[in-house]
Structure 1
Amino acid sequence: MTRTPRPRFGIMTAQSQVSYDDIVTLWREADAIPEIEHAWLFDHLLPIFGDRDGPIFEGWTLLSALAAQTDRLRLGLLVTSNRFRPPAMLAKIATTVDIVANGRLDFGIGAGSRPSLPIARREYQAHGLPYDNFADSMGALDEALTVIRRLWTADEPFDFDGNHIHLAGAFGNPKPVQRPCPPIVTGGRSARLLRITAKHADVWNIPGGDIEDAKSRSALLDRYCDELGRDPGSIVRSMHIPVSYDQPEATRDAIGQAIEAGFEHLVLGLSDPYRGGVARWVADELIAKPA
């Protein structure tokens, strides 16, 4: 299908190897720049780049602090690991952030770190967290999204007895500011993730770098939507694009390719250290200038 997207740009600041003040300063700067519409953290508990023993902040706690110190940016984690927190607890955490943000949360979630990334798997062992196999992680994500949406919307307590999640008398109060619930953003590229996306999500994100693969995955998502009787155009296509400070023309080219492929929600990943005025630089050099 043909799309004529209006690009919506945001930034991502992975909260590793940086200070709290670094991130607060950058997010406050971005909050004052209308061209930047959304901002993201990631969800890891140990560094996956740089010093393996370097500093890293827990994502949802930091997101709540940033929600309280910004006024306009939509915000979220790209994306939450469903393996880190029980889904009912995660629903409560996300509700709290949406209330602190006065309805600006985009709820990003995925199955969790890829088995092919051993440096990420170590964070599960270090925190006593189980690391399920791929099939189990996808089944758990499907159930988690069912439960989380129900906690956000149900008017009465309910029980849930799934293959992965078992709840008795579950109830969410208060509800999120956004009704019926915050937009759900899934992240990943596997066929099973795309099926879950077609069933549950409002936005789908994929890492940039291979535009042909991204286009084929987007077409597969269209097919799964058709099978479910859902309009494929109801799911916004999102891409994470790493930013090169030294070669902005390469980043602009990647942005242009993503837009041409129908990706209208673009997340510009900023590496540390953050240069002074980097949010303004992103707006002027990457968003305002054509590829």
Structure 2
Amino acid sequence: MAPRFGIATAPMQVSYPDILRVWEEADAIPEIEHAWLFDHLMPIGGDPGGPTFEGWSLLSALAARTGRLRLGLLVTSNRFRPPAMLAKIAATVDIVSGGRLEFGIGAGSRPDHPLARREYEAHGLPFHDAAHAVGSLAEACTLIRRLWTDTEPFDFEGEYHRLKGAFCNPKPVQRPAPPIVIGGRSTATLRVVAEHADVWNFPGDDLSAAIRRGAVLDRFCAEIGRDPGAIARSLVLPVSYDDPSRTRDAIAGAVDAGFSHLVLSLSAPYPDKVAHWVAEELIS
């Protein structure tokens, strides 16, 4: 399978026109098939008091200003929004985009990242332990897919989520539902990936670790009778503007290892015509 290339623009320490310029440029370049934001409420790098845009609001704006790119968040924190509300937000973005959403979701920030951890207290959000976060994620994936596909209201009584008369209207454009991209590397999260994901995103660019975790995912798929090949593999690779050969080598290694969705992460400030440079220097 030929790899699908995308770009990622972290929406922190930048302006809206900065990101819009890159996305509109990439939208006109066929070699770049998808584009991504992240889901943090405060910076996780650079000036801790600098600007950070809310991911889903920004994604909807960019969806309205582009016409071809597949788009999403790598990945939504399931800790930030109740799943029924998230399903509604995502359905709206899929409609705004004309059916181009890739629905990225994960358990949420790891507890040992202090700059990510602080955003929960700053926004009045609870920060439960990892077991709670992964259990909540599994239920959220079930609920969200049902909200996108069920034609009648339903009740749900889970360990982490309880809904009464749940219903989503309008539905997403994509049928039966937008692809679900689950990000994570823990053993517990990989079990959720095996059950629910269309695409698995390994967080980070450590290829050897990604290969090892991919083997664990393959085993979990086998245990539940799912073809591991039904889950595409995604990896984020940082782009070196000064040494593109290093990025090209990383791309080659990822492709050889079976990663078919490659997301090239662009650091700010973005050079002029950076999307064209990516297509010519890294993809072609």
Secondary structure of 2:44's aligned partner: coil
Is 1:207–1:241's contact at 8 Å kept on the other side of the alignment? no
One-letter amino acid matched to 1:28: E
Rounded to whole Å, the distance in 2 between the matches of 1:133 and 1:36 is: 37
Residue 11 of structure 2 is aligned to residue 11 of structure 1: no
- 1:268 matched to 2:264? The reply is yes
Shift of 1:198: 0.5
**Structure-2 residue corresponding to 1:175:** 171
- The CA deviation string for residues 208-248 of structure 1, in whole angstroms up to 9 with x for no partner, is 43221111111111111111111100000000001111111
Structure 1 residues 131-159: Cα deviation after superposition (integer angstroms, max 9, x where no partner): 01000000000000000000000011000
- Listed one character per residue, the Cα deviations across residues 39-67 of structure 1 (whole Å, up to 9, x for unaligned) are 00000000000110001100000000000
Match for residue 239 of structure 1 among 235, 238, 252? 235
Aligned alpha-carbon RMSD (Å):
0.6
Trace 1:92-103 onto structure 2 (pairs within 5 A).
Answer: 92-103=88-99
What residue number does 2:110 align with? 114
Match of 2:151?
155
> What count of residue pairs does the alignment treat as equivalent?
284
Post-superposition Cα deviations, 1:159-189, rounded to whole Å, max 9, x if no partner, equal: 0010110100000111100011000000111
Deviation track 1:77-129 (CA, whole Å, cap 9, x = no partner) reads 00000000000000000000000000000000000001111110000010000
Work out the CA distance in 2 between the residues paired with 1:260 and 1:48: 31
Report if aligned partners of 1:211, 1:258 keep a CA contact under 8 Å in 2.
Answer: yes
TM-score, length of structure 2 as denominator length: 0.99
Residue number in structure 2 paired with 1:52: 48
Partner Cα distance (2:203, 2:119) in 1:
21
8 Å Cα contact 1:160/1:167 also seen in 2: yes
Aligned to 2:189: 193
Letter in 1 for 2:84: A
**Counterparts of 1:7 and 1:207 in 2: how far apart (Å)?**
18
The amino acid across from 1:242 in the alignment is P
Q: CA deviation at 1:207?
A: 3.0
Matching residue's letter, 1:90: L
Contact 2:237 2:247 in 1 (8 A): yes
Counterpart in the other structure of 2:200 = 204
Aligned-pair identity (%): 69
SS in 2 for 1:285: helix
Moved beyond 6 Å, runs of 4+:
none
Amino acid at match of 2:134: M
**Cα 1:207–1:247 shift into 2, 3 Å:** farther
- Rounded to whole Å, the distance in 2 between the matches of 1:254 and 1:207 is 15
Identify unmatched segments of 5+ residues in structure 2.
none
1:28 maps to 24
Gaps of 5+ in 1: none
**Equivalent in 253, 264, 277 of residue 257 of structure 1:** 253
Match of 2:126 in 1: 130
Q: CA deviation at 1:25?
A: 0.7
> How far apart, in 2, do the equivalents of 1:6 and 1:51 lie?
38
